[in-house]
Chains A and B, each alone.
Chain A
Amino acid sequence: MWNYIPHTREDKERMLEALGIKSVDELFEDIPKEVRMERNYDVPGPLAEDCLVRHMQELAGKNLHLGNCACFLGAGVYDHFVPSIVDAIISRGEFYTAYTPYQPEISQGTLQAIFEYQSMICELTGMYVTNASMYDGASSFAESAFMACSATKREKVLCSKAVNPEYRSVLRTYTRFRGVEVEEFGYKDGQVDLEDVKGKLNDKVAAIMIQSPNFFGVIEDLASIAELAHSKGAMLIVSADPISLALLEAPGKLGADIVTGEGQALGNPASFGGPHFGFLAATEKLLRKMPGRIVGQTVDTEGRRGFVLTLQAREQHIRREKATSNICTNQSLCALMGAVYMSAMGKEGLKEVAKLCYNKAHYAMDELAKRGFKRAFNAPFFKEFVLIAPKPVKEINEKLLKEGFIGGYDLSGQYPEIKNGWLIAVTERRTKEEIDRFVGIAGGEVR
């Protein structure tokens, strides 16, 4: 007997008898003999629950985690505080053991929560519509390129080199097979190099794609880039850090046509890179070009407010090969974590988090600058910044690790032109004491 399978010997006999067969094997006789599996899988188990827990604890115990070290690493995933109510809510079986809300009468919980999530993301980004979530920041960025191509009937996008290298890598994969051309443009003092963009922009370009704050943590001048894009009939696509939007102007107000981003910072644990969620928000004009699920408000037969999946004629289960995207399962529960987080932090809390990040990051930058690290860019930054280390970053990070710190991202692999470039993230979780010790250890490496 198995604890997840209820069939007793008598149950099976009764069921076989009802079917008029002697053995369950008869139900598998239509599988051709040459492909029938006649042996057991060579996989471990079965393990009793307590043995499984010990095994899993042993594996987990081999990992250093953010609960027992101080993390100054960001580069797309951030060690933000997550209130305990987030896990309490998403641990309710009514949420996590439900399917996609195709039957609205018995899915109002999920549907309304997504509607609230959509409303909050639209507030932060200043956009008209957002969907119920995408896989992550990278894939939402890539899908937004297709939206822009479809809306402008053009087949080329320009992408900033100061966009997260993971996002650019995913963009390259997605576009390569779809026949969309990607041309990259450079950065100057850590920001979009407008002259380079001007040289590459023409009426074949569907969109200019940027990130702000960008991979270097630098805040981009969205309004100027939007104006440039629109002057040639191209769109502006911005990938944004949602925490930063508590302090930074909503991209929608500055002319962005599509705003995407990674939602991890909104109440999702680091999880070794996933699951998190991507968000994708757009102007009203692009409503019917949106990929994925969208929840809309309506009324029932008795006039009561209710919520449904709407505009489904865009989607794969209706439109098949003509759908705006193939996305089906998204990251709904992670988006719910985002909604609970945004509800808990609220209007003031999210600003407070953003201000803490901003002040602590600037304090850390100032202190490191006093110890022989040079600021790479003078442009304004939010919670992440690039320093030029006096020696290879790897060596400094190794020293820090020995002292219980996870050091910043080593830019040497992706940005060899920034010699000894060190990308450091400071969230609200870092205390002054941690920053001072970090600075002390890193500064001790400068000789």
Chain B
Amino acid sequence: MKKPVELIFELSKSGRKAYSLPACDVPEAGEKIPEKFARKIDARLPEVFEVDVVRHFTRLSQLNYAVDLGFYPLGSCTMKYNPKINEAVSRLPGFLRLHPYQPEETVQGALKLMYDLEKMLCEITGMDRATLQPAAGAHGEMTGLMIIKAALEERGEGKRKKIIIPDSAHGTNPASASMVGFEVLEVKSDERGNVDVEDLKKLMSDEVAGIMLTNPNTLGLFEERITEIARIIHGAGGLLYYDGANLNANLGKARPGDMGFDVVHLNLHKTFSTPHGGGGPGSGPIAVTKELAPFLPVPTVEKEGERYYLDYDRPLSIGKVRSFYGNFSVMVKAYAYILTMGPEGLREVAECSVLNANYLLKKLRDYFELPFDRWCKHEFVISGNRQKKATGVTTLDMVKRLIDYGFHPPTVYFPLIVPEAMMVEPTETESVETLDAFAETMISIAKEAEENPDLVKESPKNTPVARLDEVTAAKRPVVKWDFEA
């Protein structure tokens, strides 16, 4: 078992250093920083030498679980393999070391990559134009909703201030709606796990701006009545927003644009294999119909003859949602992934991710409650309710026990409409042997829950730390190192 690591501040010793800088080759400035602006006490950054830094962060890294170490079936997060070649090409100095304000003629390769990536993402989603500016999925949601709001205001329909969101939606959906000043109306799910179309009809009015949908939804189920939903929303003057968190299941199979969506966000860090980085950087491009294209953030990348350029002259644009053009290195990785896979490869991604999910569900279905019994798409939701009722062992206990067996837990307690939910997304980059081993482990944990509940409740045991006291952490927050202690 790996031991906890000391904090870098605890290694600090005055006089040590881990850097080398050239001597100053210009005269010292005659003009001094005015005394009232000058720092009085040095920032207490650590004083360590280079080996300390390398060992410290390497040891820390070893306390992490990661896709490179094993199966990571985190539902709605698409923890697929992050190809090494994408990391390598994104670090080419001609991509990594560009200043965003360099003259356009010196960054034609970068602009061409962005232009071509936009075209590819439009083809994949069935949309007309896209922006690569949003830095993450939630940022894309916010940008997409701003576009919807701006378009409605332009049409003179600013009174449409409500947005419909399913009760199974990601938390970012309602939070993004609030950021943009929309009021949230929640639509129920029906007995098949789809949007309850009758409930939807009741919610519609001339105050509704539109609907945010994930398809397949967070239960891993395809919205079978999607075209009917699109007719209802469009018929009442609203717009459809597609949350791209689950696009992996649709690659080469169905396009949001063909389903009737007006705005689509993509998570390059899910569907297009770019790494999650322990919580970012991601990238959340937005693709839209041609009617909404004038509202995209500035700048767009345009082409005139063989020259690529940035276009800021877009009077209806919502403006900017972050500085510059987005997370460019992430775009490079996604571009490399699409080129590596090609059209057949992308369809294979969807087919194998869906095959994997259904195969795994088949192996587990007799041992856990299954709230919706249908073919799933790239992920599925089961419940630990049976175990909780019978033995008091919760979903949280069972997934913590998974850690002892070397697996990352699935997403838990989400979606909110399924009690004791476990949301499992195997992705296409896992083999049948891995799925078999995971299924056997889950089944044996279900048995342990019956036979030896305390063992499960006290897990994990083989980790650098055991379960942590989150209540005290929130009650008496310690959010930085105490130098005085």
- Asked if residues A65 and B98 are in contact (CB atoms below 8 Å), the reply is yes
Q: Mark A375-404, 1 if CB is under 8 A from B, else 0.
A: 000001000000000000000010001000
Taking the nearest CB of chain A, how far is it from the CB of B173, in angstroms? 8
- Asked if residues A122 and B480 are in contact (CB atoms below 8 Å), the reply is yes
- Asked if residues B46 and A59 are in contact (CB atoms below 8 Å), the reply is no
Residue A329 at the B interface, CB < 8 A? yes
Q: Mark A258-290, 1 if CB is under 8 A from B, else 0.
A: 000010000001111111010000000001000
With A60-B95, A99-B279, A320-B171 as contacts: A275 and B9 at CB distance below 8 Å: no
- Look across to chain A and name the residue whose beta carbon is closest to the beta carbon of B374: A30
Q: Mark A303-336, 1 if CB is under 8 A from B, else 0.
A: 0111110111101111111110111111111101
Q: Mark B82-116, 1 if CB is under 8 A from A, else 0.
A: 11010111011111111111110011111011000
The residues of A that contact B201 with a CB separation of less than 8 Å are none
- Asked if residues B94 and A98 are in contact (CB atoms below 8 Å), the reply is no
Within 8 A of A (CB), among B422-472: 428-432, 458, 460, 463-470, 472
Candidates A99, A138, A297; contact of B320 at CB < 8 Å: A138
- Asked if residues B74 and A99 are in contact (CB atoms below 8 Å), the reply is yes
Residue B159 at the A interface, CB < 8 A? no
Taking the nearest CB of chain B, how far is it from the CB of A331, in angstroms? 5
With A34-B227, A300-B468 as contacts: A173 and B97 at CB distance below 8 Å: no
Candidates B4, B146, B281, B480; contact of A306 at CB < 8 Å: B4
Candidates B67, B94, B142, B179; contact of A63 at CB < 8 Å: B94
Taking the nearest CB of chain A, how far is it from the CB of B323, in angstroms? 4
Q: Mark A40-57, 1 if CB is under 8 A from B, else 0.
A: 111111110100110111
- Asked if residues A2 and B341 are in contact (CB atoms below 8 Å), the reply is yes
- Look across to chain A and name the residue whose beta carbon is closest to the beta carbon of B359: A15
Taking the nearest CB of chain B, how far is it from the CB of A412, in angstroms? 13
- Asked if residues A350 and B465 are in contact (CB atoms below 8 Å), the reply is no
Q: How far is the CA of A217 from the CA of B274 in the complex (A)?
A: 36
Q: How far is the CA of A313 from the CA of B63 in the complex (A)?
A: 26
- Asked if residues A95 and B17 are in contact (CB atoms below 8 Å), the reply is no
21 contacts between A and B (CB under 8 A): A4-B429, A11-B431, A37-B258, A43-B124, A46-B342, A57-B89, A63-B106, A93-B66, A96-B87, A100-B276, A105-B468, A177-B180, A272-B99, A275-B281, A300-B467, A304-B465, A317-B170, A349-B19, A353-B21, A363-B27, A401-B103
Candidates A40, A274, A297, A327; contact of B138 at CB < 8 Å: A327
Candidates B61, B146, B324; contact of A95 at CB < 8 Å: B61
The residues of A that contact B340 with a CB separation of less than 8 Å are 4, 45-47, 49, 52
The residues of A that contact B354 with a CB separation of less than 8 Å are 24, 27-28
- Asked if residues B358 and A123 are in contact (CB atoms below 8 Å), the reply is no
Q: How far is the CA of A274 from the CA of B340 in the complex (A)?
A: 23
Q: Which of B232-240, B248-256, B383-391 contacts A (4 or more CB under 8 A)?
A: B248-256
The residues of B that contact A41 with a CB separation of less than 8 Å are 123-124, 252, 343, 346-347
With A296-B477, A302-B466 as contacts: A272 and B176 at CB distance below 8 Å: no
Q: How far is the CA of A326 from the CA of B136 in the complex (A)?
A: 11
Taking the nearest CB of chain A, how far is it from the CB of B434, in angstroms? 8
Q: How far is the CA of A167 from the CA of B113 in the complex (A)?
A: 25
- Asked if residues A42 and B343 are in contact (CB atoms below 8 Å), the reply is yes
Residue B34 at the A interface, CB < 8 A? yes
Q: Which of A76-84, A201-209, A226-234 contacts B (4 or more CB under 8 A)?
A: A76-84
- Asked if residues B100 and A272 are in contact (CB atoms below 8 Å), the reply is yes
- Asked if residues B21 and A81 are in contact (CB atoms below 8 Å), the reply is yes
Residue B285 at the A interface, CB < 8 A? no
- Asked if residues A329 and B276 are in contact (CB atoms below 8 Å), the reply is yes
Question: Which of A32, A164, A304, A305 is packed against the most chain B CB atoms within 10 Å?
Answer: A32
- Asked if residues A330 and B465 are in contact (CB atoms below 8 Å), the reply is no
Within 8 A of A (CB), among B302-337: 318-330, 332, 336
Taking the nearest CB of chain A, how far is it from the CB of B64, in angstroms? 4
Taking the nearest CB of chain A, how far is it from the CB of B427, in angstroms? 10
Q: How far is the CA of A7 from the CA of B355 in the complex (A)?
A: 10
The residues of A that contact B66 with a CB separation of less than 8 Å are 93-98
Taking the nearest CB of chain A, how far is it from the CB of B408, in angstroms? 7
- Look across to chain B and name the residue whose beta carbon is closest to the beta carbon of A62: B109
Residue A184 at the B interface, CB < 8 A? no
The residues of B that contact A137 with a CB separation of less than 8 Å are 323
- Look across to chain A and name the residue whose beta carbon is closest to the beta carbon of B176: A326
- Asked if residues B136 and A139 are in contact (CB atoms below 8 Å), the reply is no
The residues of A that contact B338 with a CB separation of less than 8 Å are 43-45
The residues of A that contact B375 with a CB separation of less than 8 Å are 26-27, 29-30
Q: Mark B250-277, 1 if CB is under 8 A from A, else 0.
A: 0011110011000000000100010111
With A83-B19, A105-B403 as contacts: A298 and B468 at CB distance below 8 Å: yes
Residue A294 at the B interface, CB < 8 A? yes
Within 8 A of A (CB), among B1-40: 4-5, 7-9, 12, 16-19, 21-22, 24-31, 33-34, 36-40
Q: Mark B53-97, 1 if CB is under 8 A from A, else 0.
A: 110111011111111110010100101111101011101111111
The residues of A that contact B280 with a CB separation of less than 8 Å are 133, 275, 329-334
- Asked if residues A310 and B68 are in contact (CB atoms below 8 Å), the reply is no
With A7-B431, A311-B474, A331-B281 as contacts: A343 and B319 at CB distance below 8 Å: no
Q: Mark A115-149, 1 if CB is under 8 A from B, else 0.
A: 11011101110001110110111110000000000
- Asked if residues A64 and B473 are in contact (CB atoms below 8 Å), the reply is no
- Asked if residues A61 and B346 are in contact (CB atoms below 8 Å), the reply is no
- Asked if residues A330 and B97 are in contact (CB atoms below 8 Å), the reply is no
- Look across to chain A and name the residue whose beta carbon is closest to the beta carbon of B107: A63
Q: How far is the CA of A46 from the CA of B355 in the complex (A)?
A: 22
- Asked if residues B107 and A64 are in contact (CB atoms below 8 Å), the reply is yes
Within 8 A of A (CB), among B141-200: 141-142, 145-146, 149, 170-172, 174-181, 184
Within 8 A of B (CB), among A8-33: 11-12, 14-16, 18-19, 24, 26-32
Q: How far is the CA of A17 from the CA of B355 in the complex (A)?
A: 11
The residues of A that contact B57 with a CB separation of less than 8 Å are 89, 92, 113, 340, 343
Q: How far is the CA of A320 from the CA of B166 in the complex (A)?
A: 12
- Asked if residues B344 and A40 are in contact (CB atoms below 8 Å), the reply is yes
The residues of B that contact A169 with a CB separation of less than 8 Å are 319-320
Q: How far is the CA of A95 from the CA of B61 in the complex (A)?
A: 6
* Shortest beta-carbon contacts, A-B, top 10: A273-B324, A60-B94, A45-B342, A62-B109, A93-B68, A273-B100, A333-B277, A46-B342, A332-B279, A275-B281
Taking the nearest CB of chain A, how far is it from the CB of B115, in angstroms? 11
- Asked if residues B43 and A297 are in contact (CB atoms below 8 Å), the reply is no
- Look across to chain B and name the residue whose beta carbon is closest to the beta carbon of A378: B31
Residue A75 at the B interface, CB < 8 A? yes
Assuming A60-B109, A65-B94, A349-B21, what are 6 further A-B pairs, CB within 8 angstroms?
A: A62-B108, A97-B276, A166-B323, A298-B472, A306-B465, A327-B139
Candidates B69, B99, B177, B347; contact of A94 at CB < 8 Å: B69
Q: How far is the CA of A165 from the CA of B146 in the complex (A)?
A: 20
Candidates A28, A46, A247; contact of B253 at CB < 8 Å: A28
Q: How far is the CA of A130 from the CA of B481 in the complex (A)?
A: 12
Residue A178 at the B interface, CB < 8 A? yes
Residue B202 at the A interface, CB < 8 A? no
The residues of B that contact A296 with a CB separation of less than 8 Å are 473-474, 477-479
The residues of A that contact B253 with a CB separation of less than 8 Å are 28, 31, 36-37
- Look across to chain B and name the residue whose beta carbon is closest to the beta carbon of A290: B479
